[in-house]
Amino acid sequence: MTAPDSSASRPGRRQLLRAGSLGAGALGVGAASIGLDRTLGGRGAAAAPPSAASALHGGEAVPFHGEHQAGIETPAPAAATFVGLDLREEVDREGVLRMLRLLTDDAARLTRGEPPLADTEPEMATDPAALTVTVGFGRGLMERAERAAPSWLDPLPAFGIDELQDEFTGGDLMLQVAAEDPVTVSHALRMLLKDARAFTRVRWVQPGFRRSPGIVAPGATMRNLFGQLDGSANPEAGTPHFSHVVWIEEGPFAGGTSMVIRRIRMDLDGWDEVDRTAREQSVGTRLDDGAPLSGGTETSAADFEQVSANGFPVIGEFSHMRRARGVDDGEHQEIFRRPYNYDLAPPPGGGALSESGQIFVSFQADLLGQFLPIQQRLDTLDLLNQWTTPIGSAVFAIPPGCAEDEHIGESVLR
Amino acid sequence: MFRTTPPNPASALPALTGARLPRRAALAALLLPLAACAAEPTQDSGAGADADADGVAADDGALTIADAWVKAAEEHMTSAFGILRNDTDTDLVLSGARTDASAQVELHETASDGSGGMSMQEKEGGFPLPAGEELVLEPGGNHLMLIDLAAPLLPGDEAELILEFADGTELPFTATVKDFAGAQEHYEPEGSMGSGASDGGGEHATGHGDDE
């Protein structure tokens, strides 16, 4: 066979759909304008009807390629579906690599607003809506690919508070597919899963949601279904501090991170019985603005020494924030949380109004040194545990981002 | 004569670990990006056959194929698709194709069979590709039919093909192998007595039906 011209190997980024027009609008908006679009869409809505241009978010695109995978430091969009996949028994190293090449090509196209190859619904791919596709590896995938897994890549130790269900736990491969629009997420995920199907079986699927675009200021802390501002202590994206907390610095996974995903059932019916003061004390922050009970604003440093008139700490020793921060243990660890809410139909036959909770997602450079001590403290004592129950748990190694001529995870599977 | 058998769950196992594409294709697959591959003809030298940095010919007189892919198949036959564009100033006719992946490649068109279904047949005389126009090869429409596969075409593999034009121009290209449920058009090869086949060589290369 004649050797193909070298150009045959290069990606045809600009070759869009056959007419070259369906994807062009989305590309035109591009990554450069993402911040601007969000700013425009965020505030004007209440005062006056937004212009058509500022109201539309479909064209927003987040670059897929880069030093880090998108979907971690990039703003958390409104809709995300997390999927845990198990490799089929017969898939070997070569199969893993073939799968990752397919998923990479799909993700690169979808995030640009282009249909992947063989997309049977190409019109559903043209509004990327800030779509990101983030891929994580479990120990099973690393072993199948015949490469050493990071030593920390194991299930978390069993915690006393856990009531884990197999259907939300573990997995060889994780896909986080997120966008400002659930329809975009649905189509992107289906295209990815169609290519993963020959290699994997779906183990679990967890759809989640945050505020819709244009509802609150970009970057505002999410409110969870308990009504709490959730994530106030997060490191700020784009700062050296964020990099220090999140990105692995050395080794094959440099530029990657560790991901913990835990499904936390929240007992909204039980929470209904709790008055506002007790709710605030359980966490140690004010419900309205997220400020520490010691005063200030959401971003103020908490004063853990402050005591009330009768001598008790204002931010109680049992409070979630105090425990998470390690105040009384002389420790301090940080993680980056990027959670999503879930709110589903209740189990049939019971009296519950809903099956609700949080898909807790955290990223940290050092799973054992950062995440684990926090979780161990919260397992030991955290008033919030009374209304929350972990029912799923998984840990994944997030490989660094890839260049345009690489597939996801290429540097760690080489 | 081209009847396709349903995928055999058991056959999926050796397929993944055993026989492969020609070694070169497998190696190339490790090195090449999977994105749309735009290829240039081997003969159509001169006037701006260069591709730009993306490997995609701009308005510079090139003959290209983009978004090329092949439906994964274990054996027998399958089909290949892509978007051909003739930006040369010469009218061309796609007259054939060849690949190491199969014994034979035919050019097929798909038409209504008059009873609500679609059937495909070999395109006599090839596909015209006038200057400045494009030819879309897609499921349910015109396509390349790979007959008598040399080895399973597995999802994520890359297949090397060469398009042949009536004037002698050749266009080598790389196509990504994709798991695909469609492209089930009924095939009536000449001389067969109704023993048609879908052009997928079975449903999916590694079988979806092996869960239960």
Q: What is the pLDDT along chain A (414 residues), one digit of tens a residue?
A: 344 444 433 333 333 333 333 333 333 333 333 333 333 333 333 444 545 456 788 999 999 999 999 999 999 999 999 999 999 999 999 999 999 999 999 999 999 999 999 999 999 999 999 999 999 999 999 999 999 999 999 999 999 999 999 999 999 999 999 999 999 999 999 999 999 999 999 999 999 999 999 899 888 999 999 999 998 999 999 999 999 999 999 999 999 999 999 999 999 999 999 999 999 999 999 999 999 999 999 999 999 999 999 999 999 989 999 898 888 888 899 999 999 999 999 989 988 899 999 999 999 999 999 999 999 999 889 889 999 999 999 999 999 999 999 999 999 999
Task: Give me the domains of chain B, ranges plus CATH numbers.
Answer: 9-51+59-203 (2.60.40.1890)
What digits encode the pLDDT tens for the residues B138-172?
Answer: 999 999 999 999 999 999 999 999 999 999 999 99
Could you give the CA distance from residue B186 to residue B110 in angstroms, rounded to a whole number?
9
Nearest CA-CA partner of A197 in B74, B17, B178: B178
- Give the DSSP letter string of A93-111: HHHHHHHHHHHHHHHHHHH
Q: Are the Cβ atoms of A118 and B180 closer than 8 angstroms?
A: yes
DSSP run (H or E) holding A206: strand A200-209
The residue of A6, A13, A14, A15 whose CB has the most chain B CBs within 10 angstroms, and thus the best one to mutate to test that interface, is: A15
Residue B148's CB is within 10 A of a number of other CB atoms, namely: 14
- Amino acid of residue A113: G
Q: Are B60 and B105 in contact (CB under 8 A)?
A: no
Q: Which residues of A touch B52 (CB under 8 A)?
A: 14
Q: Are the Cβ atoms of A108 and B35 closer than 8 angstroms?
A: yes
The model's pTM is: 0.81
Residue A258: strand, helix, or coil: strand
Q: Assign 3-class secondary structure to A285-298.
A: ECCCCCCECCCCCC
Residue A364's CB is within 10 A of a number of other CB atoms, namely: 24
Q: Are the Cβ atoms of A15 and B56 closer than 8 angstroms?
A: yes
Could you give the CA distance from residue B2 to residue B201 in angstroms, rounded to a whole number?
9
Determine the Cα angle at B9 with ends B4 and B11, to 5°: 75
Q: Which residues of A touch B (CB under 8 A)?
A: 1-5, 7-15, 18, 88, 90-92, 94-95, 97-99, 101-102, 104-105, 108-109, 117-118, 120, 194-195, 197-199, 201, 404-407
Could you give the CA distance from residue B162 to residue B98 in angstroms, rounded to a whole number?
5
Rounded to a whole number of angstroms, the CA Rg of chain B reads: 17
ipTM: 0.81
Could you give the CA distance from residue A199 to residue A193 in angstroms, rounded to a whole number?
10
Q: Are B174 and B26 in contact (CB under 8 A)?
A: no
> Quick one: how many helices (H) and strands (E) in chain B?
2, 11
Give the nearest partner residue to B176 out of A1, A15, A117, using CB atoms: A117
Q: Residues A215, A218, A223, A225: is their CA dihedral positive or negative?
A: positive
Closest Cα of chain B to A256: distance in Å?
Answer: 21
Closest Cα of chain B to A210: distance in Å?
Answer: 32
Closest Cα of chain A to B3: distance in Å?
Answer: 23
CA dihedral A369, A371, A375, A376 (to 10 degrees): -10
Phi and psi for A267 in degrees, rounded to 5? -85, 85
Q: Which residues of A touch B12 (CB under 8 A)?
A: 90
Nearest CA-CA partner of A357 in A171, A207, A186: A207
